[in-house]
């Protein structure tokens, strides 16, 4: 199943940027786990980035992802 992402929704933009970064979602999950001291599974991060029902991305996590991508 293919998901359509936009260039205007902030979650879609963040998800696309994370996916295009070297290592993708897996590397991002490792980085977040190390920085926050709380483990996050790559699939859990993927659900948060996609904004699925019951999942949310907090500002602090989004800020850390932006820092990681720099």
**DSSP 3-state assignment of 44?**
helix
Confidence at residue 2, expressed as pLDDT on a 0 to 100 scale: 63
The pTM (predicted TM-score) of the whole model is 0.85
- In this structure, what are the phi and psi dihedrals at residue 5, rounded to the nearest 5 degrees? -115, 150
What is the rounded CA–CA span in Å between residue 37 and residue 33? 5
User: What pLDDT digit, counting tens, does each position of 46-68 carry?
Assistant: 999 988 888 888 899 999 999 99
**Stretch 18-32: mean pLDDT:** 95
């Amino acid at each position: 199943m293919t998901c359509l992402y936009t260039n205007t929704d902030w979650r879609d933009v963040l998800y696309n940027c994370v996916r295009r970064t070297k290592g993708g979602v897996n590397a991002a999950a490792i980085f977040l786990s190390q920085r926050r001291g709380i483990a996050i599974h790559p699939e859990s991060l993927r659900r948060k980035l996609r904004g699925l029902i019951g999942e949310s991305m907090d500002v602090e996590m989004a800020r850390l992802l932006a820092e990681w991508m720099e």
